[in-house]
Chains A and B, each alone.
Chain A
Amino acid sequence: MSLTYLFFLSSGLFLGWSLGANDVSNIFGAAVGSKMLKFKTAAVIASVFIIIGAVFGGSGTTQTLSMLGEVNALAGSFMVALSAALTVYFMAKTGLTTSTSQAIVGGIIGWNLYAGKATNLTVLAKIMSGWVICPLLSGLIAVALYFLLKTFINKMHIHILMQHQLLRLGLILSGAFCTYALGANNIANVMGVFVDSAPFQTVSAGFFTFSPEQILFFLGAVAISVGIFTYSQKVMATIGNHLMKMSPFIAFIVVLSQALVLFLFSSSSLHDALLALHLPAFPLVPVSSTQAVIGAILGIGLLKGGRGINWSIVLRIVAGWFTTPVATLLICFVSLFFLENVFQLKVFLP
């Protein structure tokens, strides 16, 4: 791997770092905030499962993104990832709900427009439908889980202390599942645009054979892990409970709902199995973990009578569907122009 490649890859790694810092705090924030789990335990679990999810389950969503636009020059990939990272950074600074998934889609469309390539509208519609379905589905799953688990706990008369221990175990397992699903679903955002230009060889290690794509995903997942260890604790401390103060029980439901939704939108095996049974399958698209969390919290909030729900957050989600991709598209388009004309770099191949 040359230094030039590493330099261009840095924007994707930066995007991965910010994903690790922000999105993992949605998964383990409430558990760490309520002292059910130590930060170090959460960080180790998250890092291990993000890497496993990214390396072994990240191909499905990546294929969908490359169908939207095959970014075929390294400098172009660099700018798509950088514009997405900058948008996420600035949107987060201004307190707007955003997601790397929406940003990267905007970036790819920006590159398509600049390179004069056609954007596959069917794929775009599929991806956008995922963004709308994601919070709605997460809310529905959270409501169903809340009913089921509450009835179970009330009927079983489990001692509070045992409930606590089971809940702690549940938070660890659901957190691990959720970080696995996050890695599988969101690695496409971080590394997807670099897949076509990956310079790696296939590597065999014991029983496993790693494709160039998987090695690239591994690097992206390591960047996400660095984000988790270096910055997510701070994010957990500052925004951990800003949506709604969650009890460990609610946190468990929210994390599990988020995990299920991310899994549904990223599992190729489940997708194929549903299609084989002639059932409608979930599109394999990268979705926003933050919006899945918000959907789950809103679902439970509405179930409890809708008190204390911050409706402006709902508006922010809807606003995010438009503002994030549009902002990234504009940044990407303008930056590609500079990259090509000022720095004389090839940002696309005809």
Chain B
Amino acid sequence: MFHIKVSLFAHTKELEQKIDELHDKIVEISMVFKKAFHLFLEEKRSMNYRKLSKQIKTIEHDADVLRRDIESQLYAQNLIPDFRGDVLELVENLDKVINEFDEVAHQFYIENPDIPEIYHQKMKQLVQEVCECAENLAFASRAFFKDFTAVRNYSQKVYFLEHESDKTTAKLKEAIFASDLELAHKLQLKTFLSEVADIADLAENCVDQLLIYVIKRDI
């Protein structure tokens, strides 16, 4: 009996570890994405960028494996039946953020857009805000599993950064469409801007749900 209980707790520890690792993947992918984007602005579609893009793909794949493991183990061990659905939804949403990073990085690699230098600074600022937003989502979600009071603090940061990224995107779009670039070029840059900003939007949606889960779970 004692052995069974100990091994049950060991399985739970293993699952806790996997949930932690999934959060680590968000922070990791965000940092690699930032590095890759800076490199893209300097070198465009270079071998170095390709390596970073592959690294992003690997992180995304690892996160998928973790997500599937977490989902199946939650059912297999019959854990948290009363709010398993919420946790599964949260894990799915975290994975969507990771997928978006991968998609945007891959899109840069495929389309290899020409980004005029005058927009570089603002673009870096946008990526910085979006990445910080995703990282704070990871912190908020990690806190959800251990410390409810901290969720609110990180969530406020996500809201603030998402709002800032919206403003930066709007300014950039305005500047691009006021420029002498070809319409096709303008539209391509606009699409990229929207895709980068989408990462922050996904993080914001995820935090919205997270705060509802906190209210539901407040014992």
Contact = CB atoms under 8 A, between A and B. Distances in A.
The 3 A-B pairs at the shortest CB distance, nearest first, are namely A35-B81, A249-B219, A157-B146
A242 interface: no
Interface in A13-41: 34-36
Interface stretch (A69-77, A158-166, A286-294): A158-166
B145 interface: yes
Nearest to A246: B82
A144 interface: no
7 contacts: A160-B87, A160-B146, A161-B79, A161-B145, A165-B12, A169-B5, A247-B219
Nearest to B145: A160
Contacts of A160: 80, 87, 144-146, 217
Contacts of B82: 34-36, 247-248
A244 interface: no
B146 A35 contact: no
B9 A162 contact: yes
A158 B147 CA distance: 8
A315 interface: no
Contacts of B19: 161
A161 B147 contact: no
Interface of B: 5, 8-9, 12-13, 15-16, 19, 78-82, 87, 144-149, 217, 219
Contacts of A153: 219
B147 A34 contact: no
A157 B147 CA distance: 6
A150 B219 contact: yes
Nearest to B14: A161
B149 to A, nearest CB: 7
A165 B9 contact: yes
A35 B8 contact: no
B9 A159 contact: no
Contacts of A249: 219
Given A150-B219, A157-B146, A247-B219, A162 B12 contact: yes
B93 to A, nearest CB: 17
Contacts of B13: 162
Interface of A: 34-36, 150, 153-154, 157-162, 164-165, 169, 247-250
Contacts of B148: 154
Contacts of A35: 78, 81-82
Given A36-B81, A161-B80, 6 more contacts: A34-B81, A35-B81, A154-B149, A159-B145, A160-B144, A165-B8
A249 B219 CA distance: 7
A160 B20 CA distance: 12
A248 B81 CA distance: 10
Nearest to B143: A157
Nearest to A165: B12
Given A34-B82, A169-B5, A158 B219 contact: no
Given A34-B81, A34-B82, A169-B5, A159 B219 contact: no
Contact of B12 (A150, A157, A161, A247): A161
Contacts of A162: 9, 12-13, 16
Contacts of A34: 81-82
A159 B148 CA distance: 11
B16 A159 contact: yes
Nearest to B150: A157
A35 B75 CA distance: 12
A35 B144 CA distance: 22
Contacts of B149: 154
Given A157-B146, A157-B147, A164 B9 contact: no
> Of residues B5, B12, B13, B149, which shows the largest number of chain A Cβ atoms within 10 Å of its Cβ?
B12
Nearest to A167: B80
Contacts of A169: 5
Contacts of A159: 16, 145-146
B80 A164 contact: yes
Contact of A164 (B5, B79, B147): B79
A215 B147 CA distance: 52
Contacts of B16: 159, 161-162
A307 to B, nearest CB: 13
Nearest to B219: A249
B15 A161 contact: yes
Contacts of B219: 150, 153, 247, 249-250
A121 to B, nearest CB: 45
A38 to B, nearest CB: 9
B174 to A, nearest CB: 44
Nearest to A251: B82
A316 B8 CA distance: 43
B30 to A, nearest CB: 23
